[in-house]
Structure 1
Amino acid sequence: MLRTHHCWAAVLTVVGLAIASLCSAQDIASFDPQLDEHQALWLKAGEPVAAQAVQSGEEADLVIHAALDLPEIRPLLQRYSREHPGMLLHYVNRSALALEARYLAAPLTPRADLMISSAMGLQYRLANGGHARPLQAANLTGWPESSRWRNELFAMSFEPIVMVARRDALKRLADSEGLRDPRDALRSHRDLWHLLETRRELLRGRVITYDPRRSGSGFTYAVSDARQSPRYWTLVRAMGQADARLVTTTGAMLEALANGEVDIAYNLVGPYAISFARAHPELLVIVPEDYVLIQRRLAFVPRQAPHGDAGEAFLDWWLSLEGQQAVASDSDLGALHPEVSGDGSARDLRERLGNALRPIEIGPGLLATLDRLKQASFLSRWALEFRAPAPGPRSGSEPASESDSESETRPAPETQATPASPATLDD
């Protein structure tokens, strides 16, 4: 907790809550179905069907609304469609915010038979609020309890939150550190902190990460980081002192890396980063060795789904051994099934990293990322640390110790950072 005067902290909190409430109401009210950008796909027998070719008023047999980019899920949708050639499948991809806002506005157009989202807190809130239908299919009721909530909300992926760096930058940093293998320059969160402290000028303006004040995903990862390690706050401070760039999506980070605008990106969604790096060999994806956050996309069948049985059948297939083998072979989403191996699978990551894995738990703790008061308190400290001035010259060449910097008492800021709200959630 910040060591600030209690009255001043209370004022900041009230201001933050008012701003958050205002932003949320305005943003949700401004949604226009004709303006909302999204990707859509119609499939029959595994082949795309042009939207114009679908007969006017024809209803799909399975409608999936998701916050999951088409390149990652298209091969799986096509595989399932081929196995059900008589089915007309309609997939709609939106931002996590638009997905929830449109669902709550009711009804979605078209109505969803299955909802999938990376915004774990939003999905849990909907299921906990009675919007999810209890499911009874065999693969669903047998799914590990740690990967589902009751029989209503199910984890569909196992996605590490990673770092990505340019290989040429890692070589320069390794040379400056006297390391033979460039990969040794950055293997953990502590390595990143060390580089920011000792090679600050080399990295000034060359690091990029989420802005948790404007990105719901970034906020969730930041909270999870802080829960895992007290070193998180020294890392935030070091990034601020190195003039780190702040953005709202993994895609923006990857583009900045590919364009040579930055050298290191922190806290990216693993599957997107892995897929992007495959086409950009100048980039290296780094799964931190000290601990790695695991995001899991959550799915549920809405109670008012027009074809709820079809949504349940698709989810049952996805979590079956056959479906999970398809996830492992056709995507980078990370298969969860204990019998499925291969790069990026839960089994592979557990074998390589063991206790370093930190899956974001499915439960009431997710609601904390949506609580206005907790958001305001957390982001107040985040802004304080990120804006902290760099320390003056020290004797010797060693950076300040983490224990020293953690114990510093700082004055309260004059302005409160705008808290992240559901209106800023992205995928």
Structure 2
Amino acid sequence: MMGLLRSLVLNAIIFAGLLSAGQAQELVKSYGPEDASETLVLRSTTDIEVFGPVVDAFLSTRPGLKIIYEQWGSNDLYELSRKECRDGASVADLVISSGVHQMVKLVNEACAAAYSSRQTAALPEALRWRNELWGITREPAVIIYNRDLVPEQDVPRTRFDLLDLLRPAGSPYAGRVATYDIERSGLGYLFAFSDAREASTFGALQESFGRTQAVSTCCSADIIRNVAEGRYLLAYNVLGSYAQGYQVSDDRIGIVLPSDYTIVLSRALMIPKTSTHFERAAEFLDFLLSDAGVFALRKALLISPMLDTEDGSEAETLSSTALRPISLSPALMVALDKLTRETFLRRWRSTFPAP
């Protein structure tokens, strides 16, 4: 079973790296019988082969149901969802996104249907908002490195360690540190914006990235693969679930949960108010929050074992006070305020000027 999981995750990440960051859905796959009496449309930013086994686990209890899974980039999914909300279009029955700030905005614009159940009520308040948005995963933002090329004494355990690596003139890490391009990646923008609000080190990191010609690029797959292959030595703020998925089949990838603080993302699920299969969509949500759904999400590494203090994995144990979960709340909408976003992006462009 683990071998199959490793193969699925690795294939998903390699495939995602081949996809362009174009303005369209990246992939579509159908699950369940072709002659099903009901069909749900699920749109998600999660790599389709990573989330597919979770869909299969749900459908194993719903033999007469089919799910059409559409994989999207977070920015494109947000814009499409807003348009369909304004137009009253009945297309998607479920939307799941890593761009949780964008999801909060959609809920605030009255694009979501309300739902409450025993499972949703059991979620911590930080993972549910207005009974219209729910956090279903638990994934850390990590630092990754090439185990073959980065000496153990250089592995940064904190942001201060990373700053120290980049400080010397002629640092061997100049030009070989990567992070998300926050203009192209809604998740990257969210992580960077969370960093800026979390600690004073963000400004120093931006200065160091700019001075040492760090690289910003579009997506987890591209970053992780290039660290494994040695084009980059380190990468900052990478989604830990994908990094761990790659690591189980390629041990050149090392993973660090920064001990000064580690941001934790919970992908957000929304049932659009225009859903034509509301009851089935609610059943899927309840499944994800049930013991069986949590088990499926854990197998897919979307509830990260790296955050289990008793796990005994390579990643060092973090104090609970070092974890910084991103709460689903109206405070996230500040990140999408037009003036705030443009100011933040302008500062980012000065760090990573276009070639």
TM-score interval, smaller chain: 0.7 to 0.9
| 1:144 lines up with 2:124 in the alignment | yes
Determine the structure 1 residue equivalent to 2:204.
234
Judge conservation of contact 1:121–1:366 (CA < 8 Å) in 2.
Answer: yes
TM-score, normalised relative to structure 2: 0.84
Judge conservation of contact 1:350–1:357 (CA < 8 Å) in 2.
Answer: no
Determine the structure 1 residue equivalent to 2:340.
374
Q: 1:271 is aligned with what amino acid?
A: S
Give the Cα–Cα distance (whole angstroms) in 1 for the partners of residues 346 and 68 of structure 2.
Answer: 42
Matches within 5 A, 1:172-251: 182=152, 185-198=155-168, 200-251=170-221
What is the DSSP-based 3-state SS (H/G/I as helix, E as strand, rest coil) of the residue aligned with 1:162? Answer: strand
Judge conservation of contact 1:66–1:92 (CA < 8 Å) in 2.
Answer: yes
Determine the structure 1 residue equivalent to 2:258.
288
Q: 1:362 aligns with which of 320, 323, 328?
A: 328
Judge conservation of contact 1:334–1:346 (CA < 8 Å) in 2.
Answer: no
Moved more, 342-351 or 273-282: 342-351
Q: Give the unaligned 5+ runs of structure 1.
A: 1-29, 172-181, 336-341, 388-416, 419-427
Determine the structure 2 residue equivalent to 1:132.
112
What is the DSSP-based 3-state SS (H/G/I as helix, E as strand, rest coil) of the residue aligned with 1:246? Answer: strand
Determine the structure 2 residue equivalent to 1:116.
96
| 1:77 lines up with 2:55 in the alignment | yes
The RMSD of aligned alpha carbons is 2.6
Give the Cα–Cα distance (whole angstroms) in 2 for the partners of residues 351 and 134 of structure 1.
Answer: 37
Q: 1:276 is aligned with what amino acid?
A: Y
Judge conservation of contact 2:178–2:235 (CA < 8 Å) in 1.
Answer: yes
Shift of 1:346: 8.8
Deviation sequence 1:42-68 (CA, Å, 0-9, x none): 222xxxx6xxxx46xx77432211111
Q: 1:265 aligns with which of 229, 235, 241?
A: 235
Aligned CA distance change for structure 1 residues 356 and 321 (closer, same or farther; 3 Å): same
Give the Cα–Cα distance (whole angstroms) in 2 for the partners of residues 91 and 346 of structure 1.
Answer: 33
Give the Cα–Cα distance (whole angstroms) in 2 for the partners of residues 382 and 98 of structure 1.
Answer: 21
| 1:164 lines up with 2:144 in the alignment | yes
Judge conservation of contact 2:126–2:329 (CA < 8 Å) in 1.
Answer: no
Shift of 1:122: 1.2
Q: Give the unaligned 5+ runs of structure 2.
A: 1-21
Deviation sequence 1:227-265 (CA, Å, 0-9, x none): 111111111111211111111212221122133211001
Q: 1:314 is aligned with what amino acid?
A: F
Give the Cα–Cα distance (whole angstroms) in 1 for the partners of residues 199 and 340 of structure 2.
Answer: 18
Matches within 5 A, 1:12-161: 36-44=24-32, 54=34, 60-106=38-84, 111-161=91-141
What is the DSSP-based 3-state SS (H/G/I as helix, E as strand, rest coil) of the residue aligned with 1:83? Answer: coil
Judge conservation of contact 1:334–1:345 (CA < 8 Å) in 2.
Answer: no
Deviation sequence 1:326-369 (CA, Å, 0-9, x none): 222x211116xxxxxx5445986997331011112211221111
What is the DSSP-based 3-state SS (H/G/I as helix, E as strand, rest coil) of the residue aligned with 1:288? Answer: coil
Judge conservation of contact 2:113–2:272 (CA < 8 Å) in 1.
Answer: yes
Determine the structure 2 residue equivalent to 1:307.
277
Judge conservation of contact 2:257–2:316 (CA < 8 Å) in 1.
Answer: no
Q: 1:334 aligns with which of 303, 312, 324?
A: 303
Deviation sequence 1:166-212 (CA, Å, 0-9, x none): 012222xxxxxxxxxx1663211111111111374311211111233
Kindly tell me the number of residue pairs found equivalent between the two proteins: 328
Give the greater-gyration-radius structure (CA).
1
Q: 1:103 is aligned with what amino acid?
A: S
